[in-house]
């Protein structure tokens, strides 16, 4: 038996990824107190599962398949910036995601409910669509003021739109240089 650190996510379209990479380059500064997401690892997280026993992976994939077969491809628009839990004292810096159809939020809600039945912990907070760009480092409780000023200037920046056609289950492997991700399954939306 082996445990695999896993999460469910949507891969970014190339142009959205390129624009998010440019935004990260504008935001990041040396000694800014932020651990920025490596540009190769940008993705739209739907649910972090944590350490999953390898024997449970087929069940997780089955749940994702059952949910995705009820949704046709849908559009997402990436725009602006923000911070959780608040923009004044953010622990997470993000780019905003406009889920006009509501499909993304519905999928996440169904994932939470169905995976809880398999024993996975439900997220206590309501899902807010966002693209994580960085997190404050554990020793630093807040980003420096220059980063926050730049984040505010990016408030109306357009990163583009994309058609979501699939959801992926990822394995995450941690090493000294940071996490690397491997796709374990790609689940197409109903077409």
Enclosing domain of residue 86: 3-188
Give pLDDT, residue 141. 58
CATH number, residue 135: 3.90.1140.10
Mean pLDDT of 107-117: 97
pLDDT band per the 50, 70, 90 thresholds, residue 138: low
Residue 126, pLDDT above cutoff 70 = yes
Helix (H) or strand (E) holding 68: helix 57-68
Counting the structural domains of the chain, the total is 1
- Average pLDDT value for residue range 148-175: 93
CB 99 within 8 Å of CB 76: yes
Are 35 and 134 contacting, i.e. CB atoms less than 8 angstroms apart?
Answer: yes
pLDDT band at 142, cuts 50/70/90?
Answer: low
| Helix, strand, coil content of the chain in percent (nearest 5) | 30, 40, 30
Q: Is pLDDT of 140 > 80?
A: no
- Residues in contact with 25: Cβ distance below 8 Å, sequence separation at least 6, in sequence order: none
Whether the per-residue pLDDT at 191 is higher than 70: the answer is no
Which candidate, 156, 183, 188, 189, places its Cα nearest to that of 4? 183
The model's confidence at residue 18, banded by pLDDT at 50, 70 and 90, is very high
- Does residue 148 carry a pLDDT above 60? yes
The tokens for 180 are 């690397």
Average pLDDT, the chain: 92
């Amino acid at each position: 038996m082996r445990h695999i650190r896993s999460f469910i996510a949507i891969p970014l379209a190339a142009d959205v990824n390129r624009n998010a990479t440019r935004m990260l380059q504008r935001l990041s500064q040396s000694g800014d107190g932020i651990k920025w997401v490596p540009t190769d690892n940008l993705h739209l997280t739907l649910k972090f599962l944590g350490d999953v026993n390898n024997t449970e992976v087929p069940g997780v994939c089955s749940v994702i398949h059952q949910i995705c077969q009820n949704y046709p491809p849908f559009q997402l628009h990436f725009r602006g910036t923000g911070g959780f839990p608040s923009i004044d004292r953010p622990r997470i810096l993000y780019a905003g995601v406009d889920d006009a159809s509501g499909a993304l939020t519905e999928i996440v809600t169904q994932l939470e409910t169905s995976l809880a039945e398999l024993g996975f912990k439900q997220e206590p907070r309501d899902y807010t669509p966002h693209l994580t760009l960085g997190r404050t480092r554990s020793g630093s409780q807040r980003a420096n003021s220059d980063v926050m000023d730049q984040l505010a200037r990016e408030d109306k920046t357009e990163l583009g739109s994309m058609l979501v056609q699939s959801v992926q289950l990822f394995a995450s492997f941690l090493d000294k240089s940071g996490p690397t991700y491997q796709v374990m399954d790609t689940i197409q939306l109903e077409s």
